[in-house]
A and B are shown apart, each in its own frame.
Chain A
């Protein structure tokens, strides 16, 4: 199996990008040991290792899905290790501790920084969105993320019919939009 793409893990990256759960599972399981070792050697526990690993795995998977690692020149596992390494350094720093052992192999690779600047109002929006209630969140998630039809939503969330599901969905979005508009106005004023 050959590819013309430069990344040594191009097929793996594409598989994860395409939502191949098996590929992601293998990648997850193959790399946890190294991070566990790193964290245990540097003042952390098993739980710390799992937490930091899942956070950096999340970051890497979202970068893959966003197409930002299509041209990755290092191995994906090396990249993941770097992201976890820097994340763990940050957490140690927050606790006032320092890293005792660093990169032991030729693992160092450039890490893509998260682009938080594009939506600086996100934390505030997240906070106000909690006000629309759990049922509204479920409804909007079913419609906008899961892309379910109104009939499916009515059946899943217990509405009488698709019309009442649709009406409720619109009311939920009206409320969310009103709250979001205030956040944006405050941000831009």
Chain B
């Protein structure tokens, strides 16, 4: 019983739950008895170690789950492949991924060119006033993060992250504009993909999008028409 009291008494001291009188008595006892001070320090160290170990175990468990989810993403085409060739399989998946990415980029490029072609030649007319020149064709379509945020306890909390296709367009008519649908088109004289970080933030609470280009941010909305990029 005496030991039970000691454990709980030290806990109450460490949790700052003693009354002022109890605290004074506790500290006086530590000053008079170095062994008692060691006991307090040891209990504190044990508590910290147990919590730290438990926290790490929790994180490890979480990481293992994330890793399984990650492994499950690119499902191997051939499940019967020997696990001994895991390294080779992984490389194969990566190269397949690269091919897929290239194929997707080419497909998007074709769609993009087709869209431009339609814009330039509506109904077969040569309306040259609206002519657009796409930036360096190899990098024409790139992906930008679309991060969804929600305010929880006055703090922004990331809800979701997607990558969406974006393209930068040089246009004689539109010099600081955008069009945002499934794809983000930025009309700019100078901007290049590498020059500044481009991302979109979506506020889940207000249902508003903001386009971030470097240190600047612009409110944007999904619409068919080309709209000026303006800062409020």
Contact = CB atoms under 8 A, between A and B. Distances in A.
Co-assembled chains A and B: yes
Give the interface centre of A3, A122, A174 by most chain B CB atoms within 10 Å. A174
Contacts of B42: 176-181, 183-184
A170 B6 CA distance: 9
Interface stretch (B65-73, B118-126, B174-182, B221-229): B65-73
B129 interface: no
Q: Chain B interface residue count: which class?
A: 35 or more
B161 A26 contact: yes
A29 B155 CA distance: 23
Given A29-B66, A144-B51, A1 B149 contact: yes
Interface stretch (B25-33, B55-63, B184-192): B55-63
B158 A22 contact: yes
A184 B152 CA distance: 43
Interface residues of A, number: 58
A57 B63 contact: yes
Interface in A10-56: 11-12, 14-15, 18, 20-26, 28-30, 32, 36, 40, 45-46, 50, 54
B49 A18 contact: no
Given A28-B66, A58-B56, A183-B42, A140 B90 contact: no
A102 to B, nearest CB: 21
B63 A1 contact: no
Contacts of B7: 169-170, 173-174, 177
A145 B47 CA distance: 8
A90 interface: no
A174 B67 CA distance: 39
B51 A145 contact: yes
A68 interface: no
Interface of A: 1-3, 11-12, 14-15, 18, 20-26, 28-30, 32, 36, 40, 45-46, 50, 54, 57-58, 61-62, 65, 119, 121-122, 125-126, 129, 137, 140-141, 144-146, 166-167, 169-171, 173-174, 176-181, 183-185
8 closest Cβ contacts across the A-B interface?
A180-B42, A145-B54, A11-B156, A23-B158, A181-B42, A170-B4, A28-B66, A170-B7
